[in-house]
Amino acid sequence: MNGYFSELANKTVVVTGGSKGIGKDIALTFAKLKANVVISGRDKTALDAALLELQMHNPKCIAVSGDLSDIAEVRKLIDKAASEFGTIDVLVNNAGVNIAKPAMEVTEEDWDTVLDLNLKSAFFASQAAAKYMLQQNSGRIINIASQMAFVGYVKRAAYCSSKGGLVQMTKALAVEWAKQGIRVNAVAPTFIETELTARMFEDQEFKEDVDSRILLDGLSQPEDISGAVLYLASNLANFVTGETIKVDGGWTAI
């Protein structure tokens, strides 16, 4: 694989929600390839710690704190990245949230919280990044969806709706921007083993249910998702757009 992904060196890569979990792993994957990575997050302490890790591989990486539920903050992030490095080459819309509740208990505030971050912010980040990508007639937008864009699950009415919308948004933007050289794709993970999900899997009944739906052994690891994102960002995926790669261990194959 010598030479593969070398084209990503010095590219400007924005990763939303890049301070923890799979977002941080995705950001580190690009930083190790010497991309100029810009991460965002709300937790300043976690953001600063993640940035130190990134800068071990590329000192030019930066972090921008902010709540991406606020569209003004979304635009600030993209404009900051472009002003720092001249353009935006890759946008990874990873920031997301879930409020696990039975459908009958979901409030309007719950619904807006999930949809605003998972779907609305991803659209406006894509719009803001495309402003720069259209000028150079190239760019990659990669949305982190979920296998729950394709299947239902209990206590996730808002989450499933947001991720299903994200997959359709991926197709719509791919169609609209293909002739301008912008490729828009998505990655749909299953549950991932990270420090953020550890508490969730303390519920043994829940863990057993998840395990029963994944055909491969164990839970997905962050690098499983980063590999799919890296592929879509690279020249290996030059003829791929409007696609969602499921990294779900076979969950949706049944």
With 0-12 / 13-18 / 19 or more C-beta atoms within 10 angstroms meaning exposed / middle / buried, residue 65 is middle
Catalytic entry in 4, 132, 153, 159: 159
202: number of Cβ within 10 Å: 9
Find, among 148, 98, 145, 95, the residue nearest to 125 by Cα: 95
Secondary structure of residue 215 in the 3-state scheme:
coil
d(CA 150, CA 167): 9
| 4: annotated active-site residue | no
d(CA 13, CA 99): 28
Q: Which residues are catalytic?
A: 159
